[in-house]
Amino acid sequence: MGRRSVWAEVNLQTLRENYFKLQTYTQSEIMPIVKADAYGHGAIPVVKTLIACGAQRFGVALLQEALEIKEVFPEVTVMVIGATEVEDSDRLIKEGIIPTVFRLTQAKALSEAAVRQKRTARLHIKVDTGMGRIGFRKADIPAILEIAKLPNIFIEGIFTHFATSDQRDLSFARGQLKCFQGIYDELQKAGLIIPIRHAANSAAIIQFPESHFELVRLGISLYGLTPSSQIGGNVGLKPVMSWKAKVSHVKTIGTGETVSYGRTFQAAYPTQVATVPVGYADGLRRVLSNHGEMLIHGRRSTIIGRVCMDQTMLEVTKIPGVNVGDIVTILGKDGDELLTASEMADWMGTISYEVVCGISKRVPRVYIDSNEA
């Protein structure tokens, strides 16, 4: 493969530092969440690094993601925190992947598959306490008790997910926690003891210790990004990924000349333009046209004209000496300047999660490990 002129650097030493820092926030077991290719960072290198840090169990959203991890690390425990299909039951049991169960039919199919394979289906029950996405609700307690009686089933865990744990006001989250505890207590009264309870995502790990229970689900903060603008800003985490490109062309355009599709940028004075070989097919969203910024020579420069599929133009009039081959930082640090996924997310009207997940597959991930350097 030829060297690309756009790439993302993933610093595994920073990942370790974030993991150890976040460990100081909780006594509970940490289950790193590595769905969506570890939030765009690359699931396999991330899992490998975190296993070496002591992580024993990983969470993903899809069966396919679980299978990819199991293929490389057969010994590691992998849980699918999202939905799986009834048709996936045999595969889940065969691979020993923990499914999330929130429908009785799903549990029956898992039980039947486990009986067929003479194995036990280890599963976690999802309860919906206010997220309104998936999960049994309070009225479904009889269904959970019915699942517990199915043959070859082991309910190892029960969990819920917060809708607002990233807000400063935790009153709704406290209500969800109370509902979760209420369901757990009723199950216990009926004789069902479930060893692992979990509820906390990154935001709740940081600011809601009462929700930690036996296990926490650590996602975005592991990658050094804050769950929201309201919390996590002072935790001392560092972004694991930076995104870079090399200038492909530099020129000066005259007053009145225009740049890119639709001629939405018109030069008001002689303007120095740098072309960067990154576009919306790489995940640089078109909404950043005439709006977003990148770093070059440690300074901020503005995107001018529309972001194209594979190329974007920057104004560099006030940044002297920009040449073809110079490094442009789309996300990350250059000198004293820093561009974070949260800042880019603000320009786009979204959250940092979408920025990092959106850096497309054609941007090669380059792994840096200062311990190996």
Binding site for ligand PLP (CB under 6 A): 33, 35, 81, 161, 201-203, 217-220, 227
Tell which phi-psi region holds residue 334, choosing left (phi > 0), alpha (psi between -120 and 50) or beta.
beta
Catalytic residue among 94, 178, 251, 261: 261
Contacts of 99 (CB under 8 A, 6+ apart): 79, 80, 84, 88, 92, 106, 110, 121, 123, 124
Q: What sections of 43-96 are H helices per DSSP?
A: 43-52, 63-72, 89-95
Cβ atoms of 131 and 163 closer than 8 Å: yes
Give whichever of 221 and 260 is closer to ligand PLP, judged by the CB atom: 221
> Taking the complex as a whole, how short is the minimal distance between the CB of residue 201 and ligand PLP, in angstroms?
4
CB of 28 or CB of 201, closer to ligand PLP: 201
- DSSP assignment, residue 287? G
Indicate if the alpha-carbon torsion angle 17, 173, 195, 95 is positive or negative.
Answer: negative
In the complex, least distance from residue 219 CB atom to ligand PLP, rounded to whole angstroms: 2
The residue among 81 and 284 lying less far from ligand PLP, judged by its C-beta, is: 81
- Given 35, 39, 126, 280, the catalytic residue: 35
- Least separation in angstroms between CB 170 and ligand PLP: 15
**Catalytic site includes residue 261:** yes
Report the residue number, 32 or 305, with the smaller CB distance to ligand PLP. 32
Quote the least distance from Cβ 307 to ligand PLP, whole Å.
27
- In whole angstroms, give the CA distance from residue 28 to residue 205: 10
- Tell me whether residue 35 is one of the annotated catalytic residues: yes
Token pair belonging to 56: 């024993």
As a residue count, the chain comes to: 373
Structure tokens at 122: 């280890």
Which residue from 333, 315, 319 is spatially nearest to 276, judged by alpha carbons?
315
Select 22 or 308, whichever has its Cβ closest to ligand PLP. 22
How far apart are CB 210 and ligand PLP at their closest, in Å?
17
Alpha carbon separation from 253 to 129, 155, 300 (Å, rounded): 58, 67, 20
| Residues labelled as active-site residues | 35, 261
